[in-house]
Structure 1
Amino acid sequence: MTKTLFHNFSLFDGRRPENDQNAWFVVENGKLVDRGTGNTPKAEEEVNLKGKFVMPGFFNVHSHLTSRPDTFDGGFNMSETEASYLAVTHLRQMLKSGVTYVRECGDSYDVDIKLKRLMKVGMLKHVPELKPSGKVMSMTGGHGDGPHMAYLTDSPDEMRKAVRTALKNGAEVIKMMATGGVMTPGDFMADPQLSVAEMRTGVEEAHHKGIRASAHAEGNPGIQNALDAGMDSLEHGFYVNESECQQCLKQGTFITPTLIAEMNIPKYGKGKLPEWEIKKCEDALDDTYVNFKRAFKMGVRFTLGTDAGTPFNGFDKTPEEFEYLTKIGMTPAEAYQCSTLNSPELCDVAATHGTLEVGKFADFLVLDEDPLQDVKAVQQENKQVYLHGVREF
């Protein structure tokens, strides 16, 4: 394979909290095979990046590709054809924004699983890598109980069969609903939904196949229930308390805070969304920042996800999540490491993805400004995006 030398740039590799100046790396067969600063080696092809700034592509580990952020109904009322078209469109929007790896957390019709099959045989290109979840696990009348969106599980036995079915169909992560949520009219963040016994059964079945389990868990006692069930990640986790943080640390549980999703509903929703939906978010915001600041100080590991597809939360918004993470006490580098270090570990791909180190895939962005100096630098609209060493945008 042809070796390509990329040179003349400042490199944030996603691990070290500072830039390498006058950096270069060599890409062969989609991966970094050499890297350094100063004098460059010979290569068949060269790309001069003209003094710009290079950093790893983003992970987004919480997305809903078949939902529309402009319709506010969760995508429940679409046909499979419409959902599939939207999912491909949304994947390409994410790639353009800088996202090179997506983990899904619930889609209608198992569309993401079906798209992953097309990716594997080379029929779907110019999209990020994808870890599909398929439909979520919910209870009858629970969060996510919509047409074509959920397995409805009302006992441990029903959960066991549903998870086994999802894994048979090709799910690579199992998503369960531990609490109510913002977009469902009949429940609240504090409402517990799936029981510990039901969720523990789902976790057990997922882990038997080496698959991670995640829980939609916004309030308590559902957060505690999800932890007691052995979840690998808490999605949202707005009301996580000190003892639950200690349990996260003991169990190695990640939190995906999805701050932009919670911020955008009260920011843009007045006069467009139901008042009950806006009030749920407004009531939670102040507590969210207090709780996450404490969690971060305690050492809980945060991943990077946006809940893309929720109201006013488009698939081009991933770069904005880093800015919100700095508001809970992170430096820009620490915010990016939620994507470059923690998210790949949650997705079990840290050996090959996340940081720009030799032996890993060359998924990277080229920016005009230094992202370590200004967290808004990653919001550049016309950034260059490379996937496995090939420029996509």
Structure 2
Amino acid sequence: MHQSTEKLCLVSRRVWLDPPGRYEPRAVLIEQGVIGELAPISAAAELGPEWRVVDLGERPLLPGLINTHVHLEFSASSRPLAEFEKEPVSERLLRAIGNARVLLESGVTTVRDCGSSLELLALVRRPDLHPVTLPRLVMSGPPITITRGHLHMMGGEADTIAEIDAVIQTGREHGARSLKLMGSGGGMTPGTLPESAAYPQFVFDHVAGHARRADLPSVVHVLAPESIRRGALARFDSLEHCAFFVRNDQGALERHFDPAIAGLVRDSGSRVMANLSTATRALERLRQDPSASPDASHQLQQFDLMIENFGRMLAMGIPFVCGTDAGVRDTPFSDTALELVWLERGGMSPVEALRAATLEAAAALHLDRQIGRIAPGYAADLLVFDDDPLERLDRFAAPVGVMARGAIVKASGPLAFSQDNPR
């Protein structure tokens, strides 16, 4: 893991402190990649010559974003799974490094890969081998899935408790630090059933319980109503998608919100990753097409229902985390800010959307004492903007400065991180 050894002081009249959730003037002192002190601005003038002071003026300084659900080996093309299956491991590894770097330069300083081949875990097992700074990586490795289940090609097929435990052990030995269960089928994998739970309740309970005992963040893919119910009862840290899919008489998937199951989710303590922005660029093109097919119209209708259901769950008090499913069909790795935009459109305030990508996401990853805030003892994962991104959430897509673990990754314009800054 690349980490800066420089003593650096960032001075800004607008440092985001949460809690309480407001900007305050501060001098942020950073040593060994960690925030050591939040001092009054005047303290910067008293620092010794070993400190480099960067005065950001009125530019806002915020914590790095956290994306809790990506697939680094996927291409984000129109056929990502087909490409995954035909590409050799070496090419997928190169793709993953590039995708991780795109995430970092877009302001995402911590990423959870929510399903990959076993070989990709080399990124966390051997960080000394890749030459560029990447985000902090929380890897799930091959997700646990039934035989020929969703994303079975990643190598996590398991039908019995013994087979499940073997997948978990192998993943952890190779560097996995998150447990992922495929609790239903998925739309990407032909032959699986998104409208059906893939495992009985005792399997959900077993995986979530194993994760708690090992203090690993747990995550479960749940598209079917019954899979959502089982994931909530098992108390997974994060429930992915929560689509409430059922199949209609014509064989198409439809979202049928179930308030009773949503109530179980609220009471479980689980967080939900809604990935509202996934494939929205392609959907917007369909929306602009006056000759859209019935299938396209159905997709757009179901998207609108997803936003409506998100609002219902939000009103019930269910907590959400930021995740984009980056890498799947038409979902690029540069679009984490777009998820914040859609969270706001779905009913969150700008501060709530930011917390979904900072405080809430850090808690879901069991890292809330290390990342997600600008505070003493926390990692120096920081973003600088020319204008306040909380006034327009799409501004999160264009930080002028990105710092990961104290290392300056991106700097442009007047910020000029790389130059000496006179006191």
Q: Which residue of 1 aligns with 2:126?
A: 118
Whether 2:163 is the aligned partner of 1:165: answer no
Contact 1:15 1:341 in 2 (8 A): no
Pick the aligned partner of 1:200 from 190, 201, 205: 205
CA distance in 1, matches of 2:215, 2:368: 15
Give the letter aligned to residue 77 of structure 1.
K
Q: Aligned pair in 2 of structure 1 residues 251, 58: CA closer, same or farther (>3 Å)?
A: same
CA distance in 2, matches of 1:279, 1:188: 22
Give the letter aligned to residue 370 of structure 1.
D
Give the letter aligned to residue 157 of structure 1.
A
Give the letter aligned to residue 15 of structure 2.
L
Shift of 1:63: 0.6
Pick the aligned partner of 1:27 from 30, 45, 49: 30
Q: Which protein shows a greater Rg?
A: 2
CA distance in 1, matches of 2:203, 2:12: 54
Q: Aligned pair in 2 of structure 1 residues 388, 167: CA closer, same or farther (>3 Å)?
A: closer
Shift of 1:391: 1.1
CA distance in 2, matches of 1:4, 1:235: 38
CA distance in 1, matches of 2:279, 2:155: 22
Q: Which residue of 1 aligns with 2:80?
A: 73
CA distance in 2, matches of 1:184, 1:63: 17
- Give the paired residue count: 384
Q: Which residue of 2 aligns with 1:84?
A: 93
The two structures, once aligned, show a CA RMSD in angstroms of: 2.4
Pick the aligned partner of 2:317 from 299, 306, 310: 299
Q: Within 5 Å, which residues of 2 pair with 1:21-60?
A: 22-41=25-44, 42-43=46-47, 44-60=51-67
CA distance in 1, matches of 2:295, 2:233: 29
Pick the aligned partner of 1:61 from 51, 58, 68: 68
Partner-residue secondary structure (3-state), 2:277: helix
Gaps of 5+ in 1: none
Pick the aligned partner of 2:243 from 230, 238, 259: 238
Contact 1:115 1:124 in 2 (8 A): no
Superposition TM-score, scaled by structure 2 size: 0.84
CA distance in 1, matches of 2:298, 2:196: 12
Q: Which residue of 2 aligns with 1:383?
A: 400
Shift of 1:317: 0.9
Give the letter aligned to residue 171 of structure 2.
A
Q: Aligned pair in 2 of structure 1 residues 276, 186: CA closer, same or farther (>3 Å)?
A: farther
Shift of 1:58: 0.6
CA distance in 2, matches of 1:373, 1:138: 42
Superposition TM-score, scaled by structure 1 size: 0.90
Shift of 1:245: 3.2
Contact 1:183 1:277 in 2 (8 A): no
CA distance in 1, matches of 2:94, 2:298: 31
CA distance in 2, matches of 1:141, 1:267: 33
Q: Which residue of 2 aligns with 1:254?
A: 271
Shift of 1:37: 4.4
Contact 1:265 1:278 in 2 (8 A): no
CA distance in 1, matches of 2:211, 2:364: 14
Shift of 1:267: 3.2
Contact 1:160 1:201 in 2 (8 A): no
CA distance in 2, matches of 1:2, 1:163: 38
